[in-house]
């Protein structure tokens, strides 16, 4: 006889129920209820397979299915009473099924364990998030491509070391991020292909003596195939780690873009004006308009990378197969996925709504002797100077301009000729920022013509 206080699902050999602290450390229902719909989907597929294989009767499978769908709607309507005594989502659902349909509920767990069940549920959940992340990245990329199309020939300073380096186009800068987010999409897609194998039917760890059909449940759940090794199936969490890896890199990209928006929207730069919809005010300084959303996006990587480190640390050194340590896999992944999706949505809104200050950017693009390389290249091309000598001559001209407190295009022809007699009037053409960017037509360069081609390519790819 089972003691009344012991667990209804596994209490057969127990004389007493768990200590309150035991229940507190053991229960996962507080968070794994997020797996409810995946759990029910998995159980429906399992029950249908058991019936198709003659392991349970069709009428039992039918009762189980109807009961599970009732539970799903109870959960969706917020009417389900989750119980910590029943530990986790799997036993909460099964416990309620027993209340609803009685004896057939006890047949659902034939040829199955919570080990393959949770591995299946969690894969389904991570797979959904992987798809959602890909879509959100595509939406952000579309917003960036729209900005790039509008500003294919707006000129801004390009930086190295955050020092003005050479003029670039706004469109080119936007499209640099589109490249990054395309790699992120590809990483999520790769991870999805690898994770899309079904653990269901691995049972506790060794498989089962029942004549189950793992292909059938795999197909029903949208998996490409069953996992080939039952031990691996129940103990693998690579799918979650790969998701977090892809999420970490995407979050790093978001953080870099966020940082640029913080810098660009400052009073010192004024390259962009963020919309009011994505800014906040200060409670003390009435003039302030703060880029809080960008700052929060910049910070989200902390929890996302933290989740990856936490899960790697949980998994390292775990002997095969399942250990309860693995219950610690979920909260981190849930939190990281939420953070990534929120950051992507906020960034998409900000990029869509922001206004580039074209005149400010153009003025800044001409500052800091940004066309010095154009001048050196001109000396090589037109006067046949070796590049090293051209570099030296240009350096002398920069020093002269700096001494005069002016920019390169403000030097007179006589100034120029005092440094190198061969320089002619035509040099002034390459000192303008528009000519500078238009001349950078090498593959992958910043020229507006190339930016327009890339915008067309991305519009085609992103739809």
Establish if 326 lies at the interface with ligand ARG (CB under 6 A). Answer: yes
Residue 322 within binding range of ligand ARG, rule CB under 6 A: yes
Q: Is 161 a catalytic residue?
A: yes
Q: If binding is defined by CB under 6 A, does position 327 make contact with ligand ARG?
A: yes
Binding window for ligand ARG (CB under 6 A); candidates: 112-120, 123-131, 188-196, 258-266:
112-120
Contacts of 166 (CB under 8 A, 6+ apart): 157, 158, 370, 371, 373, 374, 436
| Window contacting ligand ARG (CB under 6 A); options: 189-197, 253-261, 319-327, 418-426 | 319-327
CB of 358 to ligand ARG, least distance (A): 54
358 close to 151: Cβ distance less than 8 angstroms: yes
Between CA 439 and CA 435 the distance in angstroms is 6
- How far is it, in rounded angstroms, from Cα 282 to Cα 125? 39
Tell me which of 59, 282, 323, 367 is the catalytic residue: 282
Interface residue with ligand ARG among 114, 127, 142, 185 (CB under 6 A) is 114
First and final C-alpha spacing in the chain: 64
Measured in degrees and rounded to the nearest 5, phi and psi for residue 222 equal 80, 15
* Candidate list 39, 60, 88, 242; residue touching ligand ARG; CB under 6 A: 88
Interface residue with ligand ARG among 7, 43, 92, 115 (CB under 6 A) is 115
Q: Does 233 bind ligand ARG (CB under 6 A)?
A: no
Work out how close the CB of 436 gets to ligand ARG at its nearest, in angstroms, rounded to a whole number: 59
CA 448, CA 434: separation in Å to the nearest integer?
A: 9
d(CA 427, CA 196): 60
Choices 48-56, 178-186, 321-329, 347-355 (CB under 6 A): range interacting with ligand ARG: 321-329
Residue 288: CB minimum distance to ligand ARG, A: 46
Residues 19-38, mask of contacts with ligand ARG (x by CB under 6 A): ---------x---x------
If binding is defined by CB under 6 A, does position 118 make contact with ligand ARG?
A: yes
SS3 231: helix
Phi/psi for 168 (5° steps) reads -130, 175
Q: Which helix (H) or strand (E) holds 164?
A: strand 163-169
- CB nearer to ligand ARG: give 31 or 159: 31
Q: How far apart are CA 193 and CA 127, in angstroms?
A: 9
Cα–Cα distance, 23 to 10 (Å, whole number)? 14
Indicate which residue of 161, 209, 421, 442 is catalytic.
Answer: 161
Write out the two tokens for 326.
């693995």
CB of 325 to ligand ARG, least distance (A): 9
Nearer to ligand ARG, 114 or 440 (CB): 114
Dist. CA 58–CA 48, nearest whole Å: 8
To ligand ARG, the closest distance from the beta carbon of 448 in angstroms equals 54
DSSP structural state of residue 17: P
Residues numbered 65-84 forming contacts with ligand ARG, rule: CB under 6 A: none
Q: Any catalytic annotation for residue 109? A: no
- From 182-190, 320-328, 415-423, 448-456, span contacting ligand ARG (CB under 6 A): 320-328
Helix axes 114-150, 36-52, angle to 10 degrees: 130
Q: How far is CA 321 from the centre of its chain?
A: 29
Cis ω before 321 (30° cut-off from 0): yes
In this structure, are residues 291 and 262 in contact, taking their beta carbons and an 8 Å threshold? Answer: yes
Find the shortest distance in angstroms from Cβ 247 to ligand ARG.
21
Closer residue to ligand ARG, CB minimum distance, 45 or 375:
45
Query: Which residues are catalytic, by number?
Result: 161, 282
Binding site for ligand ARG (CB under 6 A): 28, 32, 88, 114-115, 118, 322, 324, 326-327
């Amino acid at each position: 006889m089972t003691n009344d206080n012991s667990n209804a699902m596994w209490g057969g050999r127990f004389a007493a129920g768990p200590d309150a602290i035991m229940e507190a450390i053991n229960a996962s229902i507080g968070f794994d209820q997020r797996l409810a719909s995946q759990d029910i989907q998995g159980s429906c597929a399992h029950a249908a397979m058991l019936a198709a294989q003659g392991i349970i009767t069709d009428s039992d499978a039918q009762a189980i299915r109807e009961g599970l769908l009732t539970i799903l709607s109870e959960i969706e309507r917020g009417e389900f009473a989750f119980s910590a005594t029943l530990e986790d989502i799997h036993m909460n659902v099964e416990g309620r099924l027993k209340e609803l349909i009685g004896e057939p509920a006890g047949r659902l767990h034939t040829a199955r364990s919570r080990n393959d069940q949770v591995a299946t549920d969690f894969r389904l959940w991570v797979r959904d998030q992987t798809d959602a992340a890909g879509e959100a990245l595509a939406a952000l990329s579309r917003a960036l491509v729209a900005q790039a199309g509008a500003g294919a020939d707006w000129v801004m300073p390009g930086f190295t070391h955050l020092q003005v380096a050479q003029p670039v186009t706004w469109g080119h800068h936007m499209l640099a991020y589109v490249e990054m987010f395309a790699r992120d999409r590809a990483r999520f897609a790769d991870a999805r292909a690898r994770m899309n194998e079904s653990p269901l039917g691995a049972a506790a760890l060794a498989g089962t003596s029942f004549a189950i059909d793992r292909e059938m449940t795999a197909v029903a759940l949208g998996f490409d195939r069953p996992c080939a090794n039952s031990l691996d199936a129940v103990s693998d969490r690579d799918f979650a780690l790969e998701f977090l890896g892809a999420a970490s890199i995407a979050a790093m990209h978001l953080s870099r873009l966020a940082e640029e928006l913080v810098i660009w929207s400052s009073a010192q730069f004024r390259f962009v004006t963020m919309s009011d919809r994505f800014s906040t005010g200060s409670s003390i300084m009435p003039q302030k308009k703060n880029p809080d959303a960008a700052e929060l996006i910049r910070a989200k990587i902390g929890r996302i990378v933290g989740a990856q480190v936490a899960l790697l640390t949980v998994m390292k050194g775990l002997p095969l197969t399942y250990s309860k340590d693995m219950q610690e896999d979920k909260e981190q992944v849930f939190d990281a996925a939420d953070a990534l999706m929120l950051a992507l949505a906020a960034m998409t809104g900000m990029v869509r709504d922001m206004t580039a200050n074209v005149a400010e950017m153009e003025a800044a693009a001409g500052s800091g002797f940004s066309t010095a390389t154009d001048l050196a290249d001109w000396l090589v091309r037109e006067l046949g100077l070796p590049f090293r000598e051209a570099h030296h001559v240009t350096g002398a001209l920069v020093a002269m301009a700096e001494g005069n407190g002016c920019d390169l295009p403000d030097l007179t022809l006589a100034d120029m000729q005092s440094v190198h007699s061969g320089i002619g009037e035509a040099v002034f053409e390459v000192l303008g920022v528009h000519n500078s960017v238009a001349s950078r037509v090498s593959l992958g360069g910043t020229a507006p013509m190339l930016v327009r081609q890339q915008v067309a390519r991305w519009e085609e790819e992103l739809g």
